[in-house]
Amino acid sequence: MSLQSALRTFGGGPRISASERIGSRIHILDLECVHGGKRHRAQGKGLTHAAALASAQGELLERLCARAPERPLECAPIEAAGPGAIDPRSTLLFSERQYRDRRPPREALAIGDVLVPDPITAQTKFAWTGASHYQIGQIRRVAAAATYFGFLAEGAAHCIADSNGMAVAETRSDAVRHGLLELVERDAVAIWWYNRLLRPPVPAAWTDSADCRALLEDLSDFGPELLDLTHDLAIPVVAATGFTPHGFLAMGFGAHPDPASAARSALLEFAQCVVNRGKSPPGQSPVRASAWSRRDDQPFLHAQPEAARADRGPVSDPAEHLARLGLDVIVVDFESPLEISCVKVVVPGLRPWFRRLAPGRLYDVPVSLGWLSRRLPEEALNPAAFDL
């Protein structure tokens, strides 16, 4: 089943609402459809119109499959939910300070501050949905409010659902692989961004492909720099950073066992960011302003040749690789059209790129790799929330 056919099962085909080009080869498409009385939007990018359309269709299908289920779900506090329940705090990763200082949702949204949900206690009840441990197949349960968009029942005040780790593919294994690589990418980005780590440029071989050369040529007006964000997980992660003509920061990222594929993904996402910055520059709240202007005091946004690299690969199977590192890969299988697999991959402990400042990898990895001599205190982390 094609992505277009799969989307039709939701009651109608999507339409292209916008189409843009950068240079002669980069295509950026906006796609939208109406389902369940709501308008859903997605965006795709590619080196051909067909590739950009498929990218947008996949993203739109993720969002439709991740809608809140109509079936009843069992509700219980974490300790009463059974040994297979994943504590949502291990994936939300808000710090005690963030909970203490949180603003009411409307106020936070109005000023562009980080949205922090209500704290979780031993008495907090969640609705639980089924999942599985990918490496060993054991049944797991995850909080529905952290999994499904538009979920308003038990636990909704304590969780924020997002698309981290969501992926669509023709097979479950491919979908899990794509979702897992996204989690690895965002973990590396969070560790780099909030610690403002100096990272080296990518080796020249990583961009020595026809696609990367074409992308760099079409993006030459924006001067993207490619940074090597590869960290302790040993899977190549690439950041593309640069500035729009109006001085706004544009970024793109990619993670893949093949470094050239990671660089290609980062450049395509950078192109997408350039287009979106031109449509609607980020809000200039005090929290965000320092991150989006061209500033000489932000060296972490530029490649630093003297910065140390992390060891990498070879990694043939990312899930097995993470298992060897002691990380659990949990998979939620969304209800999706036949012949299409849509999943959300969850790895407790990996950092999202949102400003979530609980103890853990955010502080530990830079020290373990020798990039910092000591863990930064929470108040010393980048005050600007990451915003792509």
CATH number, residue 359: 3.30.160.660
Q: State mean pLDDT over 184-200.
A: 98
Q: What is the pLDDT of residues 10-26, one digit of tens each?
A: 666 788 888 899 988 99
Q: What is the pLDDT of residues 147-169, one digit of tens each?
A: 999 999 999 999 999 999 999 99
Residue 272 falls within a domain, yes or no?
yes
Last residue of a domain, one of 19, 42, 65: 65
Q: State mean pLDDT over 136-152.
A: 95
Residue 119 falls within a domain, yes or no?
no
How many C-beta atoms surround the C-beta of residue 207 within 10 A? 21
Residue 362 to residue 231: CA distance in whole angstroms:
12
pLDDT surpasses 70 at 288? no
Please give the pLDDT value at position 31: 92
Q: State mean pLDDT over 229-240.
A: 97
Residues 181 and 60 in one domain: no
Residue 337 falls within a domain, yes or no?
yes
Confidence of residue 131 (pLDDT cuts 50, 70, 90): very high
Residue 9 falls within a domain, yes or no?
yes
**Contact between 302 and 294 (Cβ < 8 Å):** no
Residue 108 falls within a domain, yes or no?
no
Residue 146 falls within a domain, yes or no?
no
Judged on CB neighbours under 10 Å (0-12, 13-18, 19+), 269 is buried
Residues 247 and 362 in one domain: yes
> In Å, what is the CA distance from 240 to each residue of 108, 216, 257, 270, 276?
29, 11, 17, 6, 15
Residue 201 to residue 2: CA distance in whole angstroms:
38
Residues 181 and 300 in one domain: yes
Largest CA distance in the chain: 58
Write the CATH number for 31: 3.30.160.20
pLDDT surpasses 80 at 1? no
Residues 59 and 208 in one domain: no
Q: State mean pLDDT over 228-246.
A: 94
Q: What is the pLDDT of residues 256-276, one digit of tens each?
A: 999 999 999 999 999 999 998
Residue 271 to residue 28: CA distance in whole angstroms:
8
Judged on CB neighbours under 10 Å (0-12, 13-18, 19+), 311 is exposed
Residue 327 falls within a domain, yes or no?
yes
Last residue of a domain, one of 65, 99, 118: 65
Q: Domains in the chain: how many in total?
A: 2
Angle at 378 between CA 372 and CA 384, to 5 degrees: 95
Please give the pLDDT value at position 284: 47
Q: Is the peptide bond before 105 cis (omega within 30 degrees of 0)?
A: no
- % of the chain with per-residue pLDDT over 90: 75
Helix (H) or strand (E) holding 43: strand 38-46
More confident site: 38 or 240:
240
Residue 38 falls within a domain, yes or no?
yes
pTM of the full structure: 0.93
Last residue of a domain, one of 29, 48, 65: 65
Q: What is the pLDDT of residues 71-82, one digit of tens each?
A: 889 999 999 999
Residues 60 and 169 in one domain: no
Q: Which domain holds residue 41?
A: 3-65
164: helix, coil or strand? coil
Alpha-carbon dihedral angle through residues 47, 53, 58, 60, given to the nearest 10 degrees: 130
pLDDT surpasses 50 at 285? no
Segments in 221-303 forming alpha helices (H):
259-279, 286-292
Q: Which amino acid is at 165?
A: G
Please give the pLDDT value at position 18: 84
Confidence of residue 248 (pLDDT cuts 50, 70, 90): confident
Residues 44 and 178 in one domain: no
Q: What is the pLDDT of residues 300-346, one digit of tens each?
A: 999 999 999 998 878 889 999 999 999 999 999 998 876 889 999 99
